[in-house]
Amino acid sequence: MKKPKQTIKCSDCDHCSGFRPLGNTRTKFTCAHPDQEHINDYFHKNRINKMPGFIGYGARYSDVVPIKTAPAWCPKKKPSE
Protein backbone atom coordinates (compact mmCIF):
# COMPACT_ATOMS: atom_id res chain seq x y z
CA MET A 1 0.00 0.00 0.00
CA LYS A 2 1.26 3.48 -0.89
CA LYS A 3 2.00 6.07 1.73
CA PRO A 4 -0.07 9.22 1.40
CA LYS A 5 2.05 12.07 0.10
CA GLN A 6 2.92 14.65 2.76
CA THR A 7 1.90 18.17 1.75
CA ILE A 8 4.31 20.95 2.65
CA LYS A 9 2.48 24.08 3.75
CA CYS A 10 4.00 27.52 4.28
CA SER A 11 1.47 28.22 7.03
CA ASP A 12 2.90 25.32 9.08
CA CYS A 13 6.55 26.16 8.39
CA ASP A 14 8.78 27.80 11.01
CA HIS A 15 10.63 29.76 8.31
CA CYS A 16 7.58 31.63 7.00
CA SER A 17 7.69 35.19 8.28
CA GLY A 18 5.17 37.98 7.94
CA PHE A 19 5.76 41.71 8.25
CA ARG A 20 3.15 44.46 8.33
CA PRO A 21 4.52 48.01 8.67
CA LEU A 22 2.74 50.40 10.97
CA GLY A 23 -0.16 52.02 9.15
CA ASN A 24 -0.26 49.37 6.43
CA THR A 25 -3.23 47.03 6.05
CA ARG A 26 -1.59 44.03 4.37
CA THR A 27 1.08 41.64 5.63
CA LYS A 28 4.02 40.74 3.36
CA PHE A 29 5.03 37.06 3.70
CA THR A 30 8.53 35.83 2.89
CA CYS A 31 10.54 32.64 3.33
CA ALA A 32 13.41 33.04 5.78
CA HIS A 33 14.76 29.50 5.27
CA PRO A 34 18.51 29.19 6.01
CA ASP A 35 19.09 27.71 2.51
CA GLN A 36 18.63 31.01 0.66
CA GLU A 37 21.21 29.91 -1.91
CA HIS A 38 18.78 27.25 -3.22
CA ILE A 39 16.01 29.86 -3.51
CA ASN A 40 18.26 32.33 -5.35
CA ASP A 41 19.52 29.60 -7.72
CA TYR A 42 15.95 28.49 -8.50
CA PHE A 43 14.86 32.05 -9.28
CA HIS A 44 17.94 32.63 -11.47
CA LYS A 45 17.59 29.31 -13.37
CA ASN A 46 13.89 29.84 -14.05
CA ARG A 47 14.27 33.56 -14.84
CA ILE A 48 11.84 34.68 -12.16
CA ASN A 49 12.15 38.44 -11.76
CA LYS A 50 10.53 38.99 -8.40
CA MET A 51 12.01 39.15 -4.92
CA PRO A 52 13.52 35.73 -4.05
CA GLY A 53 11.67 34.14 -1.18
CA PHE A 54 8.55 36.30 -1.56
CA ILE A 55 5.41 34.27 -0.87
CA GLY A 56 2.76 36.94 -1.26
CA TYR A 57 0.60 39.55 0.45
CA GLY A 58 -2.10 38.57 2.92
CA ALA A 59 -5.66 39.84 2.98
CA ARG A 60 -6.39 43.14 4.70
CA TYR A 61 -5.75 43.00 8.47
CA SER A 62 -5.08 39.26 8.24
CA ASP A 63 -2.08 37.22 9.39
CA VAL A 64 -3.03 34.17 7.30
CA VAL A 65 -0.52 33.02 4.66
CA PRO A 66 -2.06 33.59 1.19
CA ILE A 67 -1.09 30.23 -0.36
CA LYS A 68 -2.24 26.75 0.62
CA THR A 69 0.88 24.73 -0.30
CA ALA A 70 4.57 25.53 -0.60
CA PRO A 71 5.85 27.03 -3.87
CA ALA A 72 8.04 25.01 -6.25
CA TRP A 73 11.19 26.83 -5.07
CA CYS A 74 10.74 25.77 -1.42
CA PRO A 75 14.00 24.28 -0.04
CA LYS A 76 11.96 21.56 1.67
CA LYS A 77 10.86 20.36 -1.80
CA LYS A 78 14.46 20.23 -3.02
CA PRO A 79 15.29 16.82 -4.49
CA SER A 80 17.65 14.69 -2.43
CA GLU A 81 21.22 14.74 -3.64
Q: In terms of DSSP bridges, do strands 28-31 and 54-57 run parallel, antiparallel, or are they unpaired? A: antiparallel
pLDDT tens string 2-61: 666 778 888 888 899 999 988 889 999 999 999 999 999 999 999 989 889 899 999 888
For the full predicted model, state whether its pTM sits above 0.95.
no
pLDDT tens string 58-73: 988 888 888 888 888 8
DSSP string spanning 36-65?
A: HHHHHHHHHHTT--S-TTEEEEPPTT--S-
The pLDDT, as a whole number, for residue 7 is 81
The pLDDT, as a whole number, for residue 80 is 64
Domain spans, the chain? 10-70
H or E element: which one contains 17? strand 16-19
